[in-house]
Structure 1
């Protein structure tokens, strides 16, 4: 969720430590009844979020925290660059422009002045966010901007979120998995109850400008997933482009280059990258509690069925 505001050489960990020191004790800030990460978000930015000037050709990625948006975000960057046929010099120019404008990777992150800086970015802009659909700036819907909405099975999401937050010291060090699970299931973490995001997005399941994809299907067949994404956003890429991007954005490749792409905090972004890790930490009671929460409102919805809960969240 967190990237350096400038170059990765500017000690992002030092900036992070300063942000954590100044953040609220519970790590949260609240806006319209929703929790956001106090380390990366500012109330002033959230208050003007709906004024963001969207473009019809923006490429928007939406996903709850730790559902794979870091990975898929890099995939989109590579697809856009391949489609634009940028040479290495143009890639560097665009990257440097983003760095100079202090563009933080998620729409809700950073200072409110970032929106003006983002207006100077060339099209097509790759924009990421963790927020629910009702918190996405309305101009995106008014402009019929295409969005890729990413989901991951809720049990693996919870485990990944716990380890990431623990590693990044986003909550008190004494907080245990049991403590975190209770907070996660009750929405006392940034971005609230994960299952609520699924419920809300199910209302958009038939919107032609929104594509839904899961972390699991991308892991099972990354090549096919990239082809679907490229077709949806009308990226002009070749079979060779696709295979090159699959290799460049593999977990192994991204982990090896994490220091280059994320600076010293890169080690916190790449832990296992597998499906089914929840089995190593969930208690039987916790598993049943999550099952009940999922079954009540979601199991019979179109989006709920798409997530294949029975396959990925049952022993």
Structure 2
């Protein structure tokens, strides 16, 4: 699915969303909320039969942790490394592909760039069995919550949020699409020793995109020159990605500010303290917790 096809599909889903009640836009599968118009139950069931390839690249991100930004970075990186344009669905989230996901994926040339927001326990087992490379991106939970809040209110296929306070409470309890941020984080924390898994943070990308490109390309087995790293980095800033996505009409939906620390414009002091306590309860002392540099970005 290219940009034009995705824009057509998006318009169709927007029309369907306009005829739905807000409470109809989400459903539960195994206790976790999912958006009905994006990944209905049959999509998730079909993923169980997906067969991975050993040269697949799987990008994994909890919602609003930088997935779409990273897709653009990886496509540019892979094109520089292979000399071939990387064809992907847009966005390449497997749970969006439909009931014929296996057929769609089988027809895609290698190396395939795929993506998901799914909890690692729900990722098709063949990706682990085949030792596909998995690049996992996280973001500090306060900015993730803010971005998720605005995304829900700006995306008609998701139910509008009744209030900031209600969404804040739902995020902390994990009662949001794709489930609990903290459960996702703890599950990946357990896999940090897996040589086929690399965790990066949104904040690391913002701080030094060039260095992040070098580390990610090395993990994926690509050899890039300094000039190639520079070209990828210059074309992959958040502003550049947002501008390039405008042609499909989704730029303002999936790319908002891209800032670190915007949570300070939304959180009350009490909400900030409560999030600090939840983070400490779940991630204090973990490697992922240290990598997120929570004290720098969230206190």
TM tier relative to shorter chain: over 0.9
Partner of 1:249: 236
Partner of 2:72: 74
Give the counterpart of 1:15 among 10, 13, 16: 13
Deviations 1:273-297 (A, max 9, x none): 1100000000111111111111112
Distance 1:76 1:122, change over 3 A: same
Is this contact kept in 1: 2:136–2:198, CA < 8 A? yes
Distance 1:4 1:65, change over 3 A: farther
| TM-score, normalisation: structure 1 | 0.89
* CA shift for structure 1 position 236: 2.8
Partner of 2:98: 111
Q: How does 1:130-209 map to 2 (within 5 A)?
A: 130-173=117-160, 175-209=162-196
CA distance in 2, matches of 1:61, 1:197: 14
Is this contact kept in 2: 1:164–1:269, CA < 8 A? yes
Unaligned runs of at least 5 residues, structure 1: none
Unaligned runs of at least 5 residues, structure 2: none
* CA shift for structure 1 position 169: 2.9
Distance 1:119 1:291, change over 3 A: same
Deviations 1:55-93 (A, max 9, x none): 01001111100000100111111111111112xxxx3xx
What is the root-mean-square deviation in Å for CA atoms of aligned residues?
2.1
3-state DSSP of counterpart to 1:272: coil
Is this contact kept in 2: 1:19–1:40, CA < 8 A? no
Moved more, 186-195 or 155-164: 186-195
3-state DSSP of counterpart to 2:199: strand
Give the counterpart of 2:107 among 120, 132, 138: 120
Deviations 1:75-123 (A, max 9, x none): 111111111112xxxx3xx64xx56xxx752011141113211111111
Q: How does 1:44-59 map to 2 (within 5 A)?
A: 44-59=42-57
Is this contact kept in 2: 1:104–1:110, CA < 8 A? no
Partner of 1:42: 40
CA distance in 2, matches of 1:155, 1:162: 11
* CA shift for structure 1 position 259: 2.0
Partner of 1:218: 205
The answer to whether structure 1 residue 305 and structure 2 residue 290 are counterparts is yes
Is this contact kept in 2: 1:106–1:130, CA < 8 A? yes
Moved more, 176-185 or 106-115: 106-115
CA distance in 1, matches of 2:253, 2:132: 32
| TM-score, normalisation: structure 2 | 0.93
CA distance in 2, matches of 1:39, 1:21: 12
